[in-house]
Amino acid sequence: MAEMTADLRTLVECESPSADTAAVAASADVVAALGARLTGVAPERIVVDGRTHLRWRFGPPGPRTPGVLLLGHHDTVWPVGSLLAHPWRVTDGRAYGPGCFDMKAGLVQLVHALAGMTTLDGITVLVTGDEELGALTSRPLLHEEAARASAAFVLEASADGGALKTARKGVAWYEVHVTGRAAHAGLEPWTGVNAAVELAHQVLAIGALDRGPDGATVTPTVATAGTTANTVPATASVHVDSRVPTADEARRVDEGLHALRPVLDGARVEVVRGPRHPPFEPSSSASLYALARDVAAALGLEPLGEAHVGGASDGNIVAGDGTPTLDGLGAVGAGAHAPGEYVVVDEMPRRAALLAGLVDAVRSSAWTNRAGADRAGRP
């Protein structure tokens, strides 16, 4: 545990905000050195549009060693300088620092789990550098590795109380653009077409697509309109954040947004879809979660819980490709993306042991048939 805590400090004190490609590259050096020290193998460095990803392939999968994909990311949401306000510290069994929970402790647990295994054959580790941005450059790598794997384990932080994440909502971002016609707001506003008013109608229609916490959430977020205070706005726009539990709900929301029509005469409405993650549905994780509970019991660990969450991860992408996937195997703690983010230090060795046990179980002959059954009939 002391070594894992020291390694976590090293990662946390190398700040790595997603938007700072130089900081992410420096962080990749630190993660690569940690992995090489504990496994004896240096990773492949993959730089795409300035963003640095790391990949280890420890030997080919085969009939007796089904491919296992271990996923993590080393970028964070914290800007350089955050350590000044939120310095690394360990107090009352909790480690604090920017990015410790999401998800640098997961990376530490991952490499320590590998270090304790008798063979690494069939294992691929992919550590991306842009997960917090929606996998803008790492997505092709995720698709590539999902196709090679019989199962994927995601070292994202756990849910409350250490629960594994057995489902995640899919995410889709949209922009709705409105075009009207400018006019002087004092002299002849009636000759214009007010894009702000049209946008207000559209925001209400967008909000009507929402189905609450258990269904699809459709949330208008950043809205803008106009150029000067005395001019009828000629343009307006709103960003839309959609979280969907199933593929059917994703289609419903997409069709609903693209069906938006202007209310005011002379106004035009355009819908642009941005990056998205497919839903990670419970069927993708069911057999792996059952396996994890068996492994935890065999190791003498506390019974594992499960949770369905709204935030997406790289696990959504590989699960969407049909690879059986289990998420939330990383740190136990709380406070992701917020001041006071922390990791329960005592849990780090236990979670590493759980991961190692899961990988060994997947590579057993008993798993091969179960994995095939999970993939049967899936796109």
Structure token digits, residue 354: 């759980």
Residue located via tokens 């490709």: 321
Q: Clarify whether 75 is annotated catalytic.
A: yes
Measured distance CA(226)–CA(215) in Å, rounded: 34
pLDDT value, residue 370: 52
Annotated catalytic residue, options 131, 132, 145, 347: 131
Detail the DSSP E strand segments found in 185-320.
Answer: 217-225, 235-244, 268-277, 306-309
- pLDDT, averaged across the chain: 94
pLDDT value, residue 61: 60
- Please answer whether residues 33 and 111 qualify as being in contact, where contact means their C-beta atoms are separated by less than 8 angstroms: no
* CA-closest candidate to residue 56, choices 89, 77, 26, 34: 34
pLDDT value, residue 377: 40
Determine the length of the chain: 379
DSSP character at residue 156: P
pLDDT value, residue 189: 97
Residues 6 or more apart whose Cβ sits within 8 Å of residue 345: 1, 4, 5, 90, 93, 94, 95
Residues of the chain with confidence (pLDDT) below 50:
369, 373-374, 376-379
- Please answer whether residues 156 and 106 qualify as being in contact, where contact means their C-beta atoms are separated by less than 8 angstroms: yes
Annotated catalytic residue, options 15, 75, 102, 327: 75
- Structural domains in the chain? 2-168+280-375 (3.40.630.10), 170-277 (3.30.70.360)
Measured distance CA(374)–CA(213) in Å, rounded: 28
pLDDT value, residue 58: 93
pLDDT value, residue 368: 53
pLDDT value, residue 379: 39
Bridge-partner residues for 272, per DSSP? 175
pLDDT value, residue 298: 96
